Amino acid sequence: MRPPSLYHAILATLLTSGAAAQETPLALTGVTVIDGTGAPPRPNMTVVITGDRITQVFATGERPLPPNTRLREFPGHFVMPGLIDAHVHVGMGMVTNGTMARLLRGGVTTVRNMVGNCSVLREMARQAAAGEIESPDIYYSSVVGGEEMRADPRGTTRGRGGGGPGVGSECGHVVGDSVDPVAIVTTSKGAGVTGMKLYAAISADVARRITEEAHRQGLVVWAHATLFPPRPSDVVNAGVDVVSHAAYLSWETVDSLPSYRNRVKGAPFKSAKPTDPAIERVLKTMAERGTILDATLWLFQAQVTSPTPSPNEDFQVDRSILQAAAKFAFDVTRRARELGVLVSAGTDGQGAATEGSLPNLHAELDLLVNESGFSPLEAIRSATSIAARTMRLEAQVGTVAEGKQADLVVLRSDPTKAISNTRDIAFVVKRGRLMEVK
């Protein structure tokens, strides 16, 4: 795997040096550790945190604690990695610091941001990493699309409360077949991005060229599962690292594709089957390549259950189409898991927008278990170690292991017995700082 961008490597070095590393160790003892790898829970464990790192994980009583360790006993509690929402849209005008604080206290310690104003996001990411604001750590993308992106309000400075990337900005690129991948990727990397997002209305060749250059420069590549005209097989064969929106895999079953604006109105959600040989070929290729599926089940379910029509006219269709999209998304995600595809947990709508509300990631976990057949341990892995892989952060976060960043959630109830117990949060630890959740 390629390392994170130089920007994030330097930032991590600065933040882990100096006084933080000299802090008195903190030990959480008597806990059951769910480490995020999918391994069975380990009861009666001790987790030692020094500064912003996990420095020891061992069976309670097996080793002496470091001198002057602060002891916090949590018998009957469960420790798992901080949750990662691998598909959010923060850094927009409508997202407040209150939302970010509620995300963090709701157990989300890291987010992968898919569209936003890079100038805003760069500063938010710095403040979050330094502890100047209560917020998950933020990793963000540059967006690449064809001419249709000019008409999409989400891709402009007008969209999402004035916080879109801005067409023509360092993080909003409208391209044609004559694109210069080196210039676009270099500009994006200078803006501090972790990944390039391929959005829509670009050719399969352009997708491949940008992907190759991004990888050469150490960035990851995230793409919609269908780019119109490129279908899912084209997107996967371009070499991208993550494909988003499980329902869009249905487009592999048709002979020709419409424009991006008709991705819902004309979609074959009702007729496509996850076991269609064309779809299975894509899923098997993803499994072989390690391409991650960013399923966004919450998004499709929310479109069905919303009492009001979507403000996005592209989604203003008969409710039966939305229901079919949600069912196909659930079923194809189940089939992806059966075929060995890595599935990350992301919402495409982070939630926690009002006082007392929780992150939508908990609902995403519910859907993975209750609609797509994941075990609770598998769902937790999707929201921790696999979600970390979407950003190539697995060496830093996503598991409870010695040397990892101390991002943890302490639960009162066992999430392996009922996935809804991820909501029963006693404490959140972010970069070694323990916060009680009231």
The SS3 of residue 56 is strand
pLDDT of amino acid 168: 53
The answer to whether 36 touches 384, Cβ cutoff 8 Å, is yes
* 433-436 vs 425-430, strand pairing mode: antiparallel
pLDDT of amino acid 367: 98
How far is the C-alpha of 301 from the C-alpha of 303, rounded, in Å?
5
Per-residue DSSP letter, 258: -
Residue tagged 């074959």 (tokens): 268
pTM here is: 0.91
Nearest to 137 by CA among 113, 162, 115: 113
- H-type helices in 141-196, by residue range? 159-162, 181-190
Length of the chain measured in residues: 438
The lowest-confidence range among 36-40, 90-94, 347-351, 377-381 is 90-94
The answer to whether 163 touches 144, Cβ cutoff 8 Å, is no
Query: Which pLDDT tens digit goes with each residue over 68-85?
Result: 999 999 999 999 999 999
pLDDT of amino acid 171: 87
Reported as a pLDDT band with limits 50, 70 and 90, residue 93 is low
**Residue 155 pLDDT greater than 70, yes or no:** no
Taking the CB of residue 438, how many other CB atoms lie within 10 A of it?
Answer: 4
191, two tokens: 């803006």
Residues forming a β-bridge with 55: none
Q: Is 355 exposed, middle or buried (0-12, 13-18, 19+ CB in 10 A)?
A: exposed
pLDDT of amino acid 438: 67
Which amino acid is located at 106 in the chain? G
Domains of the chain are 6-80+399-436 (2.30.40.10), 83-389 (3.20.20.140)
Please state, rounded to an integer, the average pLDDT across all residues of the chain.
Answer: 90
How far is the C-alpha of 211 from the C-alpha of 289, rounded, in Å?
14
Reported as a pLDDT band with limits 50, 70 and 90, residue 157 is very low
How far is the C-alpha of 301 from the C-alpha of 282, rounded, in Å?
24
**Residue 164 pLDDT greater than 60, yes or no:** no
206, two tokens: 């352009």
**Residue 8 pLDDT greater than 70, yes or no:** no
